[in-house]
Chain A
Amino acid sequence: MAAISQPRPAVILSPYYVKQLRKFTAIALVMLFTSLIAFVYLLPFGNMVTIALRDQESLAGGPDSPILPMKQIFYEYNDGQRTQRLEVFNVPIDGEVRQLAALTKRRTSVVFIDPNNPNAEPITWQGNWRSLQPAYAFSARWENFPEAWNMINFPLLFRNTFIIAFVGMIGTLLSSISVAYAFARFPIPGKNWLFIVLIGTIILPGQVTLIPTYAFFASIGWTGTWLPLIVPHFFANAYNVFLLRQFFLTLPRELDEAAMIDGAGPFRILTHVIVPQSWAAIITVGLFHFVWAWNDYFGPLIYLLGQPDLQPISVGVQIFNFRYAPRPELVQATSLMAMLLPIFLFLLAQRFFMRGVVITGVEK
């Protein structure tokens, strides 16, 4: 309609351009919205990193202190007789902002020294010094990381976590591969029902088995050791069995049968035919377990109570962070260090992770 009254509408409003314009607007809107969500997602990370790099002095500044790890700049000025510690301000002079050290501060004028040229004539600036902004410089306290590392004894926590996660991973791989093989290849009576029971354990609230299991481990003297955190993984797990079974089902049976005709038994077929074709799924299950064990908090909390030398990273970091709550920079530094390995593993193997999530989630 507006096109009629305007001089050059024909080109602009031709269907092609309208379409392009619409497409461009849609891209802009979707990108803007997605970036906004991504920004919100990343904010807590930013909060963590900046606190982890600040020092106690700047943190004591409270809500008014700068967000980034910054320190106010001071200039050590020697006028020939004594050394003074001068505050540096951002001073607007002649249309530019210069960083100058205040020698005398008055309500009506300030005398400045140029830190880059201290022997030059002092600069007098007209105005109230309180209206000036103090100058800050980026000043990260990287020592927070080694300090927290030593205080919490990270090598010990890493070692404990690694042993628990690694041995459990071996256990869950051996057992889950075996059980998935049984479900994928063998004529077991009532197999479908057994499989439904297996999948049903995924939605079982963990509390209901907790107390008798704990009592059982206590009665055989396993509480206070790593065994309750490791041994149960040698008895397969629904997610892992499901993922491996789905993968095994896609493998052609002809290879099994060829091996069988060549005289291979079921065990040999598993180790020589099935497993070599399934590394992708096996790596995925291994990674899932490793990250899960790294993350596990409740198990170590109850089974390793009062055993600081055996604790994994999750409980160790929690205890440390409770004790050093007044040192937020150390709390954030340990939190950062505790998440690095899982994040690194994920970035390294994100294809495996994402495909594994999709297999266990979509196909059920």
Chain B
Amino acid sequence: MSLAAQAAGHGFLSPTGVEIAFLLVGLVTLGAALVTVTTRQLVHAALWLVVALGGLAVEYLLLTAEFIAWVQVLIYVGSVVVLLLFGLMLTKAPIGRSPDADSGNRPVALAVALAAAAALVWVVVDAFRTTWIDLDGPAQGSTRVSGEILFRHWVLPFEALSVLLLAALVGAIVLSRKKNGEEG
């Protein structure tokens, strides 16, 4: 009943502006992600990853999660991709097209990925066919809201996470440090 009412209230074929924007940005994101996993130029893959992650940040904005969007831009686009680029360079990844970017597992990977995509999309569409997000009202992801909940309700996991980050920092240093006897 209510579902039908809601469906009547929103309608599939009458998308709002937010939806159109979300759809377009989503298409760009998905395309960038696809190029990331298929391109033969490794550095390009990293750059296309920037596009995909940036697209996702826009999506977060559209979902009124401002703080996360900026964090996404800062951390992913700002640091993770830079790290990845550094990794590519440190491992002397070839610049330009490398013919062996994909392993022999590609057909299997394609099959598994398609099957997973089909199953997930089917389930998700089946489950949320008639569900709408109400984006009206105050922004749910503003910096103020996020700071309040983070330091009021989630302060303990937040602090625990800092310990984890410290451990990761130490681990990364230990792992990437050259041995004593080695030069430079």
Q: Indicate whether A and B interact.
A: no
